[in-house]
Structure 1
Amino acid sequence: MTRAQTDIDAETVEAAIDWLVRLQGEAVTERDWLDFDAWLTASPAHAQAYDAALAFDGRLDLDARFDQVEPVAAPLTASRGEVVPLRPTRRVWIWSAGAAIAAAFVAGAVLLPASGLLGAHETTYVTGVGERRTVALEDGSRIEMNAASRMTVRFERHARRVHLGDAQAFFDVAKDSSRPFVVSAGDTQVRVVGTQFDVRHRDGLVAVNVRRGLVEVRPNLARDAAPFRLRPGQGLSHRKGQKADARVEAVAVEEVAGWRQGRLIYRDQPLSQIAGDMNRLFPRPVRLGDAEAANMRLSGVLIVDDQDAMVDRLSHLLPVRTTTTDDAIVIRAR
């Protein structure tokens, strides 16, 4: 555990508690989250006060569960994933405790959990070559994984976290203002509450495209830098390890995650990326026979069906010729 700093005043703590209560309300809006993000990033003291409020709120969750357990001898049989309803006075407790938390901050006596994890658990999901999978999460969110993808989902008390390895996935996130949904891909972090968006993390490149809602993206930014905020019809791309290379561009909403409908949509993408995508769809590898072919770029749509048919279409879209063997398909410049 780490001791909180002592330069956080009571007004800041009260503001943190106010935000915690507001964001847990049913009427929270996109504007509320934008205003909250601006407040949170305005000062390190704000973030620390909010963390303390979350920790205190978590403690109330535990207290409420203990208060509801009947003192009987029979063993408890509730499953690990069961959610015990909280008393309706929970938010009143938060408000009444505000002065106590503020006083503790001023006195330098607030201790924050080092990990913030209470009952956290994680699951890893993998798809093979040519395999797609839809994962239904316990919070009502759904994740559609593209072929040859790997991701780990971790549910914590105050956050829902997904780590994408080499992967592409479309997220339909259930709204839960008390637990933001955070996706990590390389050195990029994506944060939402409830929305639909696609994240591609392949070959060191991260691309985020938004279909619905508001998505906050932080691609290798300095700690005090403002994140990008993407709206429907916007996308951002970033190469891992690079600074100040992130670009926000317009994307057609109907094209976001076109792979879900069997369409690979490219906008000035290198043939090396297209070959890589095909290698995730079919067991017979596609290889590029020369540098000229690898550097060619494509803007267009490839329908995903038979591998030979896809390669044939590619040869009509680019000046390439293909050689097919039992072991591989080799593409060379004409």
Structure 2
Amino acid sequence: MVALSDQAIDWLVRLQSDEVTDLDRQAFVDWSGQSDDHMRAARDAQALFGAVSQTETAQDWTGQEAALSPNATIPINTARNTRRRMPGSMARFGTRRFALSIASLCALVLAIMAGAGVPTDIWARWTAQYSTDIGLFKTVNLPDGTVAHMNTASAFSIDFSNGVRRVDLAAGEVIFDVAKDAQHPFIVSAQGGEAMAVGTVYGVRITDDHVNVTVREGVVEVSTGVGSSMRLLAGDQAVYHDGRGPQTGGHVDLAAYGSWQRGKLIFNNRPLGDVIDEVQRYKTERIVIARDAVHDLKVTGVFEIAELDDLLDTLEQAMNARVVRLPLLTVIY
């Protein structure tokens, strides 16, 4: 049975379609009014979207021509059971295509494949106590009662001794629902820094040469041994690099944070380059953007992780771009 939260998101995605009707809108009102749980799911879904894609904003796109520029926001939406294409506003983004010569494409492919190498975190995932493969998720119950929600390509080991519960995050992202134990602090170590809590919910993510710490509930103290530590409350985020003190990462939309736990990725006016970087985490093949003008286009939408190929297929319809699929490589230009 599909969860109410997913049904609510599917409703909001449907309401953003150019083909939405008054009957659809009334049907959503009727669905929301079925019970308090339905109403709560509808409110949570609207909060999850936040500024991502309010239905009024989506309707504003109908009948308008969107300028194809780095500042243009392109709403693209996919959701479970919403597989049909929405040609309205997508079709209005120019039809001009840029040709990439066979020689140039071959040179690009060879350069990419020569530098692809082996993923840097593969050894960490092989040797850690707990790990997930690319595109997979896992929930782990730790010995102290803490629940660890592991995202794609993640790895960590634990050492619960000497009065401290210590986790060594080697790769990826994990959200920890920490069991309360005031006598034994819970510490996540990653790339030279630590995030300490007693009983809370927070996530730690390694991305290239920096680490993000995001607090969903409670209080977390972040330190690197360089400069002062930083105390985070619910909704706060800190970022640090190895050998540098933590810096504020701003306030996080908690309704959208950790959406991957529900099998979704949510983007609000994000450059396509950032979107592809995020999608890359869930795909084994290499995805490369070969043209800067495409790299900077803004994307807004809710996407099913299990159907990310649909996102790539939609690019040609929604953007002035082409997608070329090769063995182990996808090129967007």
TM range (shorter): 0.5 to 0.7
From the superposition, tell whether residues 158 and 133 of structure 1 become closer, same or farther in structure 2 (CA, over 3 Å).
Answer: same
- Alpha-carbon offset, residue 202 of structure 1: 1.4
Separation in 1, partners of 2:232, 2:324: 42
- SS of residue paired to 1:274: helix
Question: Is 2:149 aligned against 1:144?
Answer: yes
Q: Which residue does 1:154 correspond to in 2?
A: 159
How does the TM-score come out when normalised to structure 2? 0.55
Q: Which amino acid aligns with 1:253?
A: L
Aligned to 2:235: 233
Change (3 A) 1:239 1:296: farther
1:42 aligns with none
The equivalent residue for 2:178 is 173
Q: Matched residue of 2:182: which SS?
A: coil
Q: Which residue of 1 aligns with 2:251?
A: 250
Distance 1:172 1:237 in 2: 20
1:157–1:270 CA distance, 2 compared to 1 (3 A): farther
For 2:306, the aligned partner's letter is: D
- After superposition, the Cα gap between the structure-2 partners of 1:179 and 1:322, relative to the gap in structure 1 and judged at 3 Å, is same
Secondary structure in 2 matching 1:255: coil
Contact kept? 2:204, 2:213, Cα under 8 Å: yes
Give the Cα–Cα distance (whole angstroms) in 1 for the partners of residues 332 and 143 of structure 2: 44
CA RMSD of aligned residues (A): 2.7
Map residues 1-334 of structure 1 onto 2, 5 A cutoff.
124-219=129-224, 221-222=226-227, 225=228, 227-243=229-245, 246-266=247-267, 271-294=272-295, 298=299, 300-313=301-314, 320-332=321-333
Report the alpha carbon displacement of residue 269 of structure 1 after superposing the two structures with TM.
5.4
Per-residue CA distance 1:161-207 (angstroms, 9 max, x = gap)? 11112210110000011110001121321000011111111111211
Q: Greater Rg, structure 1 or structure 2?
A: 1
The AA in structure 2 aligned to 1:184 is: S
SS where residue 305 of structure 1 aligns?
helix
The answer to which of 231-240 and 152-161 deviates more is 231-240
Counterpart in 2 of 1:115? none
Report how many residues are paired.
Answer: 207
Taking a change above 3 Å as real, the CA distance of residues 137 and 239 of structure 1, as seen in their structure-2 partners, is: same
What is the identity, as a one-letter code, of the residue corresponding to 1:180? P
Cα gap change, 1:328 to 1:168, in 2 (>3 Å): same
Deviates more, 1:254-263 or 1:172-181: 254-263
Residue 102 of structure 1 aligns with which residue?
none
Q: 1:302 & 1:220 partners in 2: Cα distance?
A: 39
TM-score (norm 1): 0.55
Distance 1:236 1:219 in 2: 12
Could you tell me whether the CA contact under 8 Å between 2:223 and 2:245 is conserved in 1?
no
In the alignment, structure 1 segments of 5+ residues that lack a partner are: 1-121
Tell me the equivalent position of 1:17: none
Asked whether the 8 Å contact 1:302–1:313 carries over to 2, the reply is no
Once the 2 structures are TM-superposed, how far is the Cα of residue 131 of structure 1 from its aligned partner? 1.4
Instruction: Choose between structure 1 and 2 for higher RCO, CA contacts under 8 A separated by at least 6 residues.
Output: 2
How many angstroms apart in 1 are the aligned matches of 2:168 and 2:237? 19
Q: CA deviation at 1:247?
A: 1.9
Tell me the CA shift for residue 267 of structure 1. 5.6
